[in-house]
Amino acid sequence: MRTLVLRVGLAQGAGRMMSAPFTVLLYYKYVRLEDPAAFVRAHRELCISLGVQGRILVATEGINGTVAGSPEAAARYQEALRAQPEFSDVIFKVSHADAPPFHRLEIKVRKEIVTLGAGEALDPLTQTAPHLSPDEWKRMIEEEDVVLFDVRNRYESEVGRFKGAIMPPIENFRELPAILPQYEELKDKTVLMYCTGGIRCEKASALFREAGFKNVFQLEGGIVTYGERHGSAHWEGDCFVFDERMMIPVGDSAEREPVGRCEHTGEPTRNVVNCLHDPCHKIMLVSVEAVAADANNKLCRECRRAGLTVETADYQGSPARAVKA
């Protein structure tokens, strides 16, 4: 069970950024790479030499990474990546943490740097929607008739979202193409699409445009960049991130009551966990108080309805697994 330590997220706040011992870099770049495997070998050596840890996916379509290290290591990493011609203009979203966000280095070759599964004909370099700066995004929300569309996963939206946004009930980004027909009525609307850092919007907006959506725009730099510029204006809750921090504040959101609700009690909480039953492993919000009251609340509602308990669930160290052994 993972428990959010909010002080890590607060490292983004004023006066803390320079003192935080770890700098976190979120970035991506769609660009043609002829030999991803060779790139990975060289890039792994670079990361090891700098002491940088994190998760990096590489494909013929580009790179997608979140890495962390000391401020010095992070600065040298940015410099080294930008020194390569194809990544000279890569944009890094920078945040900070008091504890290591990652405990190992993973660099892998994948078919896609973010998996949508819409086919190779979908090209985010040529088909993606126009980008809106955070200033233009905010202006359009305030002055125009627009629809906000969150292309992230269900649990990310539960942690925080733009007010009034449509939040598709997907557990994985690759489920988006299958449910797209449910939003046919939006084809003539002005759709403003957003995600954490921008990478999923590049592909999702291309998917929407290919399906006949006429006016689609995407938030440049995603939630992270918007929050740096406009804080929590038009935003509610925090921002889910895929590292040990689990979430970071958007503007002053850490000072407000969370919008996330406990899976079992409905009470406000920022505590993100995985369902204890490994074959399920659903990401959900469960309050510390709910777990203290009943250890079986480490399981999601579906697993509890199926009759699973802490004693019978399949997880590392479970009594049931010990009996089988």
Residue 153: closest CA among 170, 165, 166 = 170
Q: How far apart are CA 172 and CA 211, in angstroms?
A: 20
3-state DSSP of 38-85: HHHHHHHHHHHHHCCEEEEEEECCEEEEEEEECHHHHHHHHHHHHCCH
Q: By three-state DSSP, how is residue 222 classified?
A: helix
Q: How far apart are CA 63 and CA 60, in angstroms?
A: 8
For residues 323 and 245, give the distance between their C-alpha atoms in angstroms, rounded to a whole number: 34
Nearby residues of 277 by Cβ (< 8 Å), 6 or more positions away: 299, 300, 303, 308, 313, 314, 315
Residue 212 gets the label, from left (phi > 0), alpha (psi -120 to 50) or beta, of left
Q: Is 294 helix (H, G, I), strand (E, B) or coil?
A: coil
Residues constituting the chain: 325
Active site residues: 195
Quick check: 26 and 197 in contact, CB under 8 A?
yes
